[in-house]
Structure 1
């Protein structure tokens, strides 16, 4: 008799639990976009009652003093939905995870909701203009120095970027001189100068005797001090143009970036080494010869 009752109880217990209010979330983890310090983040977390009886939230609390979670006190009827309201005060810089515990109808089973957020010092914005004519520069690269985080300007030359105070912003565009500016305010407007076009001058030549029967003509100044080197950066595996690759002259530390069409322009001298980098691909070095145009293929 007792054995029969125990078996019946174990069989009916899941049905009994399901016959009560049962909460269901679409997800238990949220990754929120970065925010600047001092901002308050709000989040609505939807849920529904998939049980057969009204659902009453009996526990709803946060693990962090800088965040709160609120709910409606009224019961949620079967097949109805509602939201939990989360508020986070972002008063420190860094990566944070806020945990919220939710239980219903005094049941022992608890749901833990995790909310991840990255807090920066401030959101920097501004315009990048051509110093020569004051026109906006679209597709200019704006990145944080010694960091992979960055963005590009829109058609109006505008940009927005999360940064920390004392970060250094690097502004670059093919055909323009790269500039670096330290972040000490939210609005940072910048003007870029065009790289001077180098006039190629025909050097004087002399004759160098090669043998008794031939004469080879060699320029006295075969190696010019500087010249404009242009080209394209291409991913070898896909044959796609790479936007935002870093091209650096190893000798002079001059640096530029490939534009949205994969094109770049940099000044270099004969035998200079160009170092090409792009995130996720192997670094490549190119030796400058008498050619002025290079197609550089990067691979993993």
Structure 2
């Protein structure tokens, strides 16, 4: 029996919480196993007598820490989407974050190796920290951005699978049945079918390159538009700009939590959270 794209999407959504971490776990297991074997064989070919367990400890300690850091990178990609990385401000943010990422990775990796060596009545020496840290950072910054690319590409594919939104245009004949400048509904094409998405159900809108994402009940529907253009098309009493990359529906805002940086975080009644920059924080408070 042929399975439709809609059925596949529904099945995947049920298993998504297992599939996403499962992918990273499987990738880590495969990478650590293959790298351990290859590294040990290279040492043997070079005439360096090293026990296999030592090589395995080196590879597994590094990969397990990287695996534990994947959720942090997923959050970083959501907070600063990769398509904005190459803007100066966000590039600086991600480069600074990659330094912290590398320091955490190295510190945790060395700690695991020392514990493993101690269990074998041996001692692990990381070497000269000032010489090794730059080398480790060169590898970590590559891993940092590769994970961001993978997460961003996956999110884009998932959005395309879930559906794409368009603005309702002027009818070919007769007057429009509802306002076109401030639409009450968006037309969403999802897996070959069209349906109307009420504007009031949009929780927040996020910039995404040449698109903006309409977030509704856990789903993101990409709409080809800029933030400035969509902001002018929405009801200003209900939809408020809270960040250069976010517009939020005030009907869903439950609380505003200030942060030490001067920015804030808007918690929504649906359980989601939206960043609020200090530039827009006071304006948001005055409207709530």
Q: Confirm or deny a common fold (TM above 0.5).
A: no
More helix per residue: 2
- Normalised TM-score (structure 2): 0.26
- Normalised TM-score (structure 1): 0.25
Q: Whose Rg is larger?
A: 1
More strand per residue: 1
